Homo-oligomer: A and B are copies of this chain.
Amino acid sequence: MNAFALKTALENVRATVPLVHNITNYVTVNDCANALLACGGSPIMSDEPGDVADITSICGGLVINIGTLNARSIEAMHVAGKRAAELGHVIVLDPVGAGASALRTQTASELLDELPVTVIRGNMSEVKALVGASNTTRGVDVNPDDAVTDANLAQSAAYARQLAEKTGAIVAITGAIDIVADAKRAFAIRNGHPIMGKMTGSGCMLTCIVAAYAVANPDARLEAVAAAVAGEGLAGQVAQARMTPADGNGTFRTYLLDAIYNMTGEQLEKGAIVEEL
Binds B, one of A24-32, A177-185, A222-230: A24-32
Q: Does A253 contact B (CB under 8 A)?
A: yes
In the assembled complex, the CB of A42 is this many whole angstroms from the nearest CB of chain B, namely 6
**Residue interface bits A45-89, CB-to-B below 8 A is 1, else 0:** 111101100110011000000011111100000000000000000
Binds B, one of A115-123, A162-170, A193-201, A213-221: A193-201
Q: Could you tell me the distance in whole angstroms from the C-beta of A272 to the nearest C-beta in chain B? A: 19
A248→B70 CA distance, assembly (Å): 34
Contact A54 B103, beta carbon cutoff 8 Å? yes
Interfacial chain B residues near A45, Cβ < 8 Å:
25-27, 67-68
Across the two chains, which residue of chain B brings its CB closest to A104?
B51
Surface stretch bound by B, among A2-10, A126-134, A150-158, A258-266: A258-266
> Which chain B residue has the least Cβ–Cβ distance from A241?
B246
CB within 8 A of A101: which of B51, B69, B257?
B51
How far is A260 from B247 in the complex, measured between Cα atoms in Å? 10
- The answer to whether B248 touches A101, judged by C-beta atoms less than 8 angstroms apart, is no
Roughly how many angstroms separate A97 CA and B101 CA in the complex, as a whole number?
31
Instruction: Evaluate contact between B34 and A249: CB separation under 8 angstroms.
Output: yes
Chain A interface size range: 35 or more
A249 CB contact (under 8 Å) in B43, B70, B257:
B257
For chain A, residues 17 to 37, give those with C-beta under 8 angstroms from any C-beta of chain B. 19, 25-31, 33-34, 37
Q: Does A268 interact with chain B (Cβ within 8 Å)? A: no
Q: Shortest beta-carbon distance, A250 to chain B, in Å?
A: 3
Tell me if A188 counts as interface (CB < 8 A to partner B). no
| Interchain CB contact under 8 A, B33 and A200 | yes
Interfacial chain B residues near A234, Cβ < 8 Å: none
Hey, which chain B residues are within 8 Å of A48, CB to CB?
68-71, 103
CB of A273 closer than 8 Å to a CB of B:
no
Q: A27-B33, A48-B103, A248-B259 are in contact. List 4 more A-B contacts (CB 8 A).
A: A34-B199, A37-B249, A45-B68, A59-B139
Q: Which 10 A-B pairs have the closest CB atoms?
A: A248-B261, A250-B257, A54-B101, A248-B258, A33-B200, A250-B254, A44-B139, A48-B70, A26-B26, A250-B258
Jot down 11 A-B pairs with beta carbons below 8 A, ordered by A: A30-B200, A34-B200, A34-B253, A48-B70, A55-B97, A247-B258, A248-B258, A250-B253, A250-B254, A251-B255, A251-B257
